[in-house]
Structure 1
């Protein structure tokens, strides 16, 4: 039951999502068919077998789970309506978060966060619509996606060095903490294979990195309660 506990705590079922967003199941499917709304992050196929005084009973059911941040994303879809405008919202929010992180000291020399950022965001949009980022980020929204991708890119670049000097270790610690705040916890059966295990948990042990205090996280602008701009 660990999987169900995780999903029920950190995600919304399809029924919970449509109720919270005040839309119909048909509207949700329509948004997905139009390429506006991400696919579910998890799909469960359940086969129930029950025995009682009245005899055996079998039931099959399918459940979908979505990132909790998708309630606000549906609001974006309802406001913008058209694919180009919805994508532009994603693009602008992703780019703004990269710029914000740059100003806060989370800088990257990788061109996908500067000269090539528009092409990079188009690729990210594809992953977003497939439901991938609903699974591996805290909110599933552009802000967490940008933070996760920036942190992952810089951590991997630092790990290419055979030995890290004190400045590089400090930089590694900075980006590991950023990844920690933007990355999902992952379902129990996924954790050993997850980016969180490889790039947060394992690196903290290997390099004796320190977890940031809440006060430091707020100062660094990596609070988990990101403001959401739907403009």
Structure 2
């Protein structure tokens, strides 16, 4: 428990801290979240406080704190006076699609939709809406370092490349060339991906597709430590 809380406390900020740094009220923060101008919190931490005394009495209360990605600070500065609530989403979509279309390994992304043909606009729209929903829900505050459009695209491709590598090679001893390829894939992933909280590490994309195969091939020194 302590390791999880330490990780979250060091890498995220509470709702109160966010409001204080950005100099806005909680009401204004809620309004920005509702209008999808900043993301939801990424973690919720609840703790039970129990107080006792020699009078044989006790008091118990649960304290709940929301933890936000630190990139929300700059998002608030950018969007807190934005009147057109659709403008930010449209800019985000434009940047997301541009980064996706320009990525040299885009054929790995989103069920290999680029493999044989250029995807229809409707399909691109569907993918963006799915990613936008995850972004607004605070998921990319957990998965990526800065929750940017570029990082979302890069992480999608890095994960899919790791899955492809694992599918082909996870049950065999890697050659030197294959180990070098894995090291490069690890670097690509680490360029954009968070470590994830300790309790979720094993089930995360990092735990399933990177940590495991590194450990199996005596490359433990590349596993990100806390």
Q: Is the 2:100–2:106 contact (alpha carbons within 8 Å) kept by the matching residues of 1? A: no
Mind listing any 5+ residue stretches in structure 1 that lack a counterpart? 212-231
Matched with 2:106 is 108
Deviations 1:29-55 (A, max 9, x none): 112222332221111222210223564
Q: How many residues align?
A: 207
Deviations 1:81-131 (A, max 9, x none): 4332111232233344446653xxxx2324647544444222211100111
Secondary structure of the 1:189 match is helix
Matched with 2:193 is 183
Deviations 1:145-183 (A, max 9, x none): 222111012221233325788776654432322112322
TM-score between both structures, scaled by the size of structure 2 = 0.77
RMSD over aligned Cα atoms: 2.8
Secondary structure of the 1:193 match is coil
Of 52, 72, 78, 1:76 maps to 78
TM-score between both structures, scaled by the size of structure 1 = 0.75
What is the CA–CA distance in structure 2 between the aligned matches of 1:189 and 1:111, rounded to whole Å?
27
Mind listing any 5+ residue stretches in structure 2 that lack a counterpart? none
What is the CA–CA distance in structure 1 between the aligned matches of 2:93 and 2:191, rounded to whole Å?
21
- Structure 1 residue 159 corresponds to structure 2 residue 161: no
Matched with 2:148 is 141
Q: Is the 2:109–2:160 contact (alpha carbons within 8 Å) kept by the matching residues of 1? A: no
Matched with 1:221 is none
What is the CA–CA distance in structure 2 between the aligned matches of 1:169 and 1:49, rounded to whole Å?
52
Q: Is the 1:14–1:63 contact (alpha carbons within 8 Å) kept by the matching residues of 2? A: yes
Highest CA radius of gyration, 1 or 2? 2
